[in-house]
A and B are shown apart, each in its own frame.
Chain A
Amino acid sequence: GAVVSQHPSRVICKSGTSVKIECRSLDFQATTMFWYRQFPKKSLMLMATSNEGSKATYEQGVEKDKFLINHASLTLSTLTVTSAHPEDSSFYICSATDKQGRASYTFGSGTRLTVV
């Protein structure tokens, strides 16, 4: 079946530094990738949608300069949290789908970001 690999699974960084999270589709071409943020005991909040080769579409209220998304190839999307602050600490999850719908929104295993 479709597999999405997300790396790293956990990261601790100092306040003011930047962190990059990778999301890879291993056995299919991900025409669209989604980035979510999940707060403790809360549902998933869609941050942005990215299509290969084009700029990401951000949801209302999400700072595009803070959360940089790059979808440079059909198998890789990255989320960079720039100048991270403690309030950016959260669980970030990516999801990918292909044009045929076979991947059907396969999710990565998530990244626990802690900013100290």
Chain B
Amino acid sequence: AQSVTQLDSQVPVFEEAPVELRCNYSSSVSVYLFWYVQYPNQGLQLLLKYLSGSTLVESINGFEAEFNKSQTSFHLRKPSVHISDTAEYFCAVQGGSEKLVFGKGTKLTVNP
């Protein structure tokens, strides 16, 4: 079975500062990894995913995540955040079956 740990439940940062949201996973099989973003009272939107190939994946809005197999991590980073990035971020893993296993989420709050 897979599990996902998001170490930080809340991350407050100032606008234009860099941010890293941490995600570690455990699995006995090869995995696919995802980051989703959720705005209040909305569903989840895919931010980026790692399926294979390059371990560094990027989204269109400046986020990136790096798959590190040895550290079983898939941390999400952005060099300069905006107020509009304030949201809940979920890391998820899929391996061995079609189910996605989610972490508990990290609430990112960007302050002016």
Contact B34 A107 (CB under 8 A): no
A104 contacts B43, C-beta separation under 8 Å: no
* Smallest beta-carbon distance B34→chain A, Å: 7
A107-B44 CB under 8 A given contacts A42-B104, A43-B105: yes
Query: For the complex, is B72 an interface residue (Cβ under 8 Å from A)?
Result: no
CB pair A108 B99 closer than 8 Å? no
Question: B90: which A residues are within 8 A, CB to CB?
Answer: 43-44
Contact string, B1-33, partner A, CB cutoff 8 A, digits 1/0?
Answer: 000000000000000000000000000000000
Residue of B nearest to A111 (CB): B43
Q: Taking the complex as formed, is B61 at the interface, i.e. its CB lies under 8 A from any CB of chain A?
A: no
Which chain A residue lies CB-closest to B34? A105
- The answer to whether B45 has its CB under 8 Å from any CB of chain A is yes
Chain B residues near A (Cβ < 8 Å): 34, 36, 41-46, 49, 51, 90, 92, 94, 98-100, 102-105
